[in-house]
Amino acid sequence: MSYYRYRILALLMLATTINYFDRSLMGIMSPELIEWFGWTKQDYS
């Protein structure tokens, strides 16, 4: 029995988790990022 498909599933779940975590952090850190880099709201979006 091959565990290849479970490895692929685990990688997909890991990628989805990282993507969700990254997007939630970008929303929380937006005021600091805008101030730090000198962006406007249009630049950030």
What are the residue boundaries of the structural domains of the chain, listed by start?
4-44
> Band of the pLDDT at 20, cuts 50, 70, 90?
very high
> Band of the pLDDT at 13, cuts 50, 70, 90?
very high
Q: Which of 22, 44, 18, 42 is nearest to 31 (CA)?
A: 44
Structure tokens at 38: 């000198």
Residue for token digits 């990282």? Answer: 18
d(CA 22, CA 37): 18
Residue 21: per-residue pLDDT: 94
- Total residues belonging to the chain: 45
End-to-end CA distance of the chain: give it in Å, rounded.
47
The reported pTM is 0.61
